Structure 1
Amino acid sequence: MLNIAETLHLWCREARPFALATVVGVSGSAPLPVGTALALDTHGTVVGSVSGGCVEGAVYELCRQVLEDGGTPVRARFGYSDDDAFAVGLTCGGELDVLVHRVEPGDQPLLSAALETVVQGRPVAIAQVVDGPGEIVGRVLTIPDGSGAHEGSLGGDGANRAVAAQARALLRAGRSGRIEVGGDAATCPEKLSVLVHAHARSPRMLIFGAVDFAAALSQAGRFLGYRVTVCDARPVFATSARFPHADEVVVDWPHRYLKRTAVDARTAVCVLTHDAKFDIPLLRLALGLPVAYVGAMGSRRTHKRRLEMLREAGVPEDRLARLRSPIGLDLGAHTPEETAVSITAEIIARTNDGTGLPLTCGSGSIHRSAPATPVPSRAAHTAA
């Protein structure tokens, strides 16, 4: 749903009914993750995707059916057809479950308000019932932030509390996912399957060193949905004019800025200063923080000397093992732009537990389960 939040918000504001098709389950090499959605409004406008093209025509027809039949939810499973590779199905070999239901904006004020929160870039979790008693399928519960009170009802206080607690945990991790609640007296007599759409704040990319490589990397990071900060102690180089794609440009000693700024388990720290007086105190601090990635630019010779200096500074071996240096994947990069691709490719691989090898060298599914700390989409950053 979050992939088309801006359009759905517009339709809700215009009180325009629509059919919402949501991926509620995937297995194998399904192309898009749980939570991805396609929608069709009463004017015939289509937005979004559930499969990258494989089954869009069939899902479109289901949406038309739901709009015409008065809104009875429809479930459908799509998979690969061995008998006819051109039949409706996923040629990639995976399977996906899709729920299609009609949304009347006037009857879903909580959904409209939650979509507005997403568009404004504020964190929110939208818990949507995807399996359970027919009358509550599609109903939503919203959790405005990591600690705020939930709004709405899924069929009882026990179920609401159980869903809200798990939704907050997913929101803190920046991960959407499906949860199961109910089936007991403490929560809800009926079992409910709930899909949590978590819209977290954009993760941070901290780039230290106001160099040409930083300009290209800040643009690449912004494209990937990061909130980018460029920091350098030299005011003549650290200017907004030189880094128009950065969300902020900070003039300060790198380690001093890192000590006072907020980081979390999704933060990427990229050290491009290439100067020991900046690198060593900065890396000594960064390697002790709970961040997703710490990389440093330099040759192998520079890296070897850097490790020696960090050991002399008292950095233990388990922390040194976290350092990605020389930074980036081996793409044969030369230009700042190519180097930015190399660095962001390594960040993506580390975030998603990828190998960094060519896909042609591997076997098995090319699509992994959603990570706990995913790299955000460009749309998510734009909304922020």
Structure 2
Amino acid sequence: MDGWDVLEQAGELARRGEAFALATVVWRQGPSSGKQGCRAIITAQGELHGWIGGACAEPTVLREARQALVEGEPRLLLLGSSDQFGGAVPEGMTVVPISCQSEGALEVYIEPVQPSPHLVVVGRSPMAHTLVELAGSLGWRAQLADDPAAATERSFVVVATQGHADEDAVERALAARPAYVGLVGSRRRGAAVLGYLADRGVAADQLARVQVPAGLDLGHVSHREIAVAILAELVRIRAARGIPPAAAVTHAAETTEAVDPVCGMTVVVTDPVVYEGLEYSFCCAGCRAEFLRDPAAYAKKESRC
């Protein structure tokens, strides 16, 4: 997969609402297998598609990309020996020493790409249709539904069933634990719905999450203006970072990390070498071979993170 194919796949992931990080080589110093313009996608599941560099660069980029997804902030990495750059490293750049096999270096920009906001509007009223159209014009993934089953923990859910089984719709929406649940209706109607759900055993802390009436309070306005008021509230919540970044999926049992005793890199534990009862993992075959030539020379170093 070359650079342009990576961008096409990135667009497809974005359309599907999946979080990923886009890594791009912006500078290189040979010898290095990574070239300027090389790109790769790192998914939330930790899969890498594309090409960034060899055995030393790839695990570092994977690790940093997963962290960028968790934090929701881009980062610029300098992969190489810090001795090569002295005090000329720009402020804000993260230096990751890579000292095994190659004297090359890479500068990699990692950009986390979060899914566009997801809005589920439960109901079929004219206001519901207008709200979906307005959200779509902002590039949001918006859908009309009879049930909030499609909602996730990062979704906005607006219940606009206009008295038709409001209670069931709100209860199902809360079960999905979305970032926002709003009920379109008067405060009196909202109090009746929440009171009914409380009698059915829905927890008070969950009921407190329901915004009723949904949207900014504009008084008595038309259904189009109600849709604008609701969308304005959702935009305000999003701007205030009310929705956490889509975190990278981690599997602690499968991604235990260790320090390569030869070069000092942090690596994922795979097929470790056991020496005097301790396990040692390596970034590449070269470091592994170097260790096996004289284990005692490296075994005194800390092996676990």
8 Å CA contact retained: 2:65, 2:112:
yes
> Could you say which residue in structure 2 is the equivalent of 1:266?
154
Consecutive unaligned residues in structure 2, runs of 5 or more: 77-93, 247-305
State how far apart, in whole Å, the 2-side matches of 1:174 and 1:207 are.
29
In the superposition, the TM-score normalised over structure 1's length comes to: 0.49
State how far apart, in whole Å, the 2-side matches of 1:302 and 1:193 are.
58
> Could you say which residue in structure 2 is the equivalent of 1:146?
44
> Could you say which residue in structure 1 is the equivalent of 2:184?
297
> Could you say which residue in structure 2 is the equivalent of 1:47?
none
Cα deviation for residue 265 of structure 1 reads 3.1
Structure with the bigger RCO (C-alpha within 8 Å, sep 6+) is 2
8 Å CA contact retained: 2:28, 2:36:
no
> Could you say which residue in structure 2 is the equivalent of 1:378?
none
> Could you say which residue in structure 1 is the equivalent of 2:125?
211
Consecutive unaligned residues in structure 1, runs of 5 or more: 1-108, 233-253, 356-369, 374-384
8 Å CA contact retained: 1:178, 1:193:
no
8 Å CA contact retained: 2:27, 2:35:
yes
Larger radius of gyration: 2
Q: Alignment identity in percent?
A: 29
Q: For residues 229 and 157 of structure 1, do their structure 2 counterparts lie closer, same or farther at Cα, with a shift above 3 Å needed?
A: same
State how far apart, in whole Å, the 1-side matches of 2:244 and 2:207 are.
24
Which secondary structure does the structure 1 equivalent of 2:175 belong to?
coil
Cα deviation for residue 112 of structure 1 reads 1.2
Cα deviation for residue 175 of structure 1 reads 4.5
Counterpart of 2:58 (choices 135, 156, 160) is: 160
In the superposition, the TM-score normalised over structure 2's length comes to: 0.60
* 1:232-311 to 2 correspondences below 5 Å: 232=146, 254=147, 258-259=148-149, 261=150, 263-275=151-163, 278-311=165-198
The number of aligned residues is 222
Matched, 1:111 2:8: no
Q: For residues 281 and 112 of structure 1, do their structure 2 counterparts lie closer, same or farther at Cα, with a shift above 3 Å needed?
A: same
Q: For residues 228 and 137 of structure 1, do their structure 2 counterparts lie closer, same or farther at Cα, with a shift above 3 Å needed?
A: same
State how far apart, in whole Å, the 2-side matches of 1:130 and 1:307 are.
54
Cα deviation for residue 200 of structure 1 reads 5.0
For residue 117 of structure 1, what is the amino acid of its counterpart? Answer: Q
Which secondary structure does the structure 2 equivalent of 1:287 belong to?
helix
The CA deviation string for residues 168-225 of structure 1, in whole angstroms up to 9 with x for no partner, is 5655x69462253612559x98886643234455442111110010111011111122
Cα deviation for residue 354 of structure 1 reads 7.0
State how far apart, in whole Å, the 2-side matches of 1:201 and 1:272 are.
24
Matched, 1:224 2:111: no
Cα deviation for residue 270 of structure 1 reads 0.6
Aligned-pair Cα RMSD in Å: 3.6
State how far apart, in whole Å, the 1-side matches of 2:105 and 2:229 are.
46
State how far apart, in whole Å, the 2-side matches of 1:139 and 1:348 are.
35
Cα deviation for residue 353 of structure 1 reads 1.7
